[in-house]
């Protein structure tokens, strides 16, 4: 049992160390609002922390996480200057479904689609929900897979920490 726990902790530390040094890939994603393709690493404002939530229309936990983050945004924005965006991993043939869902939810934050899973492969993750935080320098500072109710608070604590760094 101790060996398993050590392996889990060691792998988490390795992922955390990698994440703190990782450049954001220049993989193309499609902006839902404009329909234009843009390099993922150009989606962030330098000098500002950004939460990126990866989701899919068929993923109930994804939608719950985004809903909970969205509800917290006004309060969180009083404490930290950061951006929030989402990236759908739905296939290109369901792009219309993604657009209509985003519109029906009244999302006012940037939303992109990764129709061929190129970005998903670049970031090497398997499942959604998947959340990353980009630091002020445009590097990946945090990665988290899965969602449990209240887990968004851990994400915001990391945003607060990163927002205070120069």
Q: What pLDDT sits at residue 21?
A: 54
Cβ 145 vs Cβ 125: under 8 Å: yes
Instruction: Tell whether the torsion through CA atoms of 92, 94, 96 and 100 is positive or negative.
Output: negative
Stretches in the chain below the pLDDT threshold 50: 2-20
Could you tell me the residue range of the domain that residue 141 belongs to?
Answer: 2-163
- Placement of tokens 């220049």 in the chain: 26
Which residues contact residue 134 at a Cβ distance below 8 angstroms, ignoring those fewer than 6 apart? 24, 44, 49, 50, 52, 140, 141
Compute the distance between CA of residue 8 and CA of residue 67 in angstroms, rounded to an integer. 30
What pLDDT, on a 0 to 100 scale, did the predictor assign at position 22? Answer: 83
Q: What is the CATH number of the domain that holds 133?
A: 3.40.30.10
Maximum Cα–Cα distance across the chain: 51
Q: Count of domains in the chain?
A: 1
The predicted structure's pLDDT at residue 9:
39
């Amino acid at each position: 049992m101790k060996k398993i726990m050590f392996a889990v902790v060691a792998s988490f530390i390795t992922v955390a160390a990698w994440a703190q040094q990782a450049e954001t890939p220049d993989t193309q994603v499609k902006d839902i609002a404009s329909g234009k393709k843009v390099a993922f690493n150009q989606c962030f404002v330098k000098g500002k922390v950004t939460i990126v939530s990866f989701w899919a229309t068929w993923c109930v936990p994804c939608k719950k996480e985004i809903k909970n983050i969205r509800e917290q945004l006004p309060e969180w924005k009083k404490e930290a200057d950061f951006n929030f965006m989402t990236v759908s991993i739905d296939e290109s043939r369901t792009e219309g479904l993604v657009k209509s869902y985003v519109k029906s939810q009244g999302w006012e934050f940037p939303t992109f689609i990764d129709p061929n899973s190129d970005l998903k492969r670049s970031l090497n993750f398997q499942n959604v929900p998947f959340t990353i935080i980009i630091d002020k320098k445009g590097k990946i500072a945090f990665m988290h897979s899965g969602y449990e109710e209240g887990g968004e608070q851990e994400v915001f604590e990391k945003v607060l920490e990163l927002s205070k760094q120069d």
